[in-house]
Structure 1
């Protein structure tokens, strides 16, 4: 085994995966390269499908993929060089070799899981977390369906959150930590938890559905009518006024509900 240049690994990583090919980790290199390719194709393909530029926000993943590939290649170059130095100056067992079969198998498993997580949930299924993978995949593609069907960008805000959560959660699980395979993903567990603020989860879900329905009516029915019938100066005031009024009413409802609950709690304690 010979030493590897950190600078060469970094420069070659300007094409994600190039540094890993140089270091002798072709599987990891292919994963980083295909992840970049899939992100670009998926983002532009979704934008064409819905005839909107909003899905291009998913391209924000590209700098993260590039940075991760560059830092990972530098880290592996350091591990290789330390292994070579340990072999020259002391016993070969002093620093575990990055080319050890068990180490490479673990790293390749993590890389494959990360690559599959380009489609949220696929990486979890590969690692054996079938339930969590199904939940993530269902949430992700449901948001895409709603964006396309309703022709609104309202649900676009959930796509990057689900995508990044699936990516980093798969990386954590692939590291070998002991995790319950039957556990729900974080977003689902919020509604299945025993926390005090989630005891009335059906009411919270109802508020969420009312908010989403109201937002869709405003975005797809009310605002288009305002655009046609009213001048642009008055239109801006009305749109901002309607949104502000909804927030005020929602806040008043929450405040009055909280006061009612606290009064009820005091009455019960007095008894």
Structure 2
């Protein structure tokens, strides 16, 4: 599909839908990635019933809107030079890194799958119970927020520990290089 400018009215209209203008202009990979990310954020927000996650959806929407406006500002020659790539680093290298991470951390991935499956079963039980046991709704709401809040905290701790190992590894490497330089001078 040829990448090109189209009707101004429809271009402006599609710029309000994440990824739609990119697809309309012929950038299918860009449009698909933006639309998928926005849709996934909306899906997860509604599944988990945590309204605070909608902030991510708002950020994705604004990014998509201004990305679309920037594409509209390009000339036809500039549009033809823009590569149609998946956005946010979703290329083969990232996919292989994710696959390697999953292979090396199968226990973590399996635990997350079990927790997510348990959560879906939990939600199904409350749908089945309905209004007969209204107080269970409070338990379910608190458990959901606690569970995913704890997962976010654990993910943050994991990221800090990983960065700390990287920093201390670099520090030790620099110190060893300096010691080797001093030994070479003597």
TM-score (norm: length of structure 1): 0.38
| Length, aligned pairs only | 139
Bigger RCO (CA 8 Å, 6+ sep): 2
Which stretches in structure 2 are left out of the alignment for 5+ residues?
A: 103-107, 120-138, 182-186
Q: If the length of structure 2 is used for normalisation, what is the TM-score?
A: 0.52
Which is greater in Rg?
Answer: 1
Instruction: Tell whether 2:142 aligns with 1:224.
Output: yes
Matching of residue 127 in structure 1 with residue 127 in structure 2 = no
Give the superposition deviation at 1:223: 8.1
What residue is the counterpart of 2:51 in the other structure? 153
Match of 2:165 in 1: 256
Give CA deviations for 1:39-91 in whole Å, capped at 9, x if unaligned: xxxxxxxxxxxxxxxxxxxxxxxxxxxxxxxxxxxxxxxxxxxxxxxxxxxxx
Matched, 1:182 2:84: yes
Contact conserved, 1:124 with 1:133, CA < 8 A, in 2? yes
CA RMSD of aligned residues (A): 4.7
Q: Which runs of 5+ in 1 are unaligned?
A: 1-105, 228-239
Any idea what the Cα deviations from partners look like across 1:5-31, whole Å, max 9, x if unmatched? xxxxxxxxxxxxxxxxxxxxxxxxxxx
Separation in structure 2 between the aligned mates of residue 153 and residue 131 of structure 1, nearest angstrom = 29
- Tell me the residue number matched to 2:132: none
Check 1:141–1:249 CA distance in 2 against 1; reply closer, same or farther (3 A cut): closer
Separation (CA, whole Å) in 1 of partners of 2:29 and 2:152: 38
Deviation at 1:169, TM superposition (A): 1.2
Distance 1:132 1:117 in 2: 13
Deviation at 1:145, TM superposition (A): 1.2
Mapped to 1, the partners of 2:34 and 2:71 lie a distance apart of 15
Output the CA distance in 1 between the equivalents of 2:164 and 2:63.
32
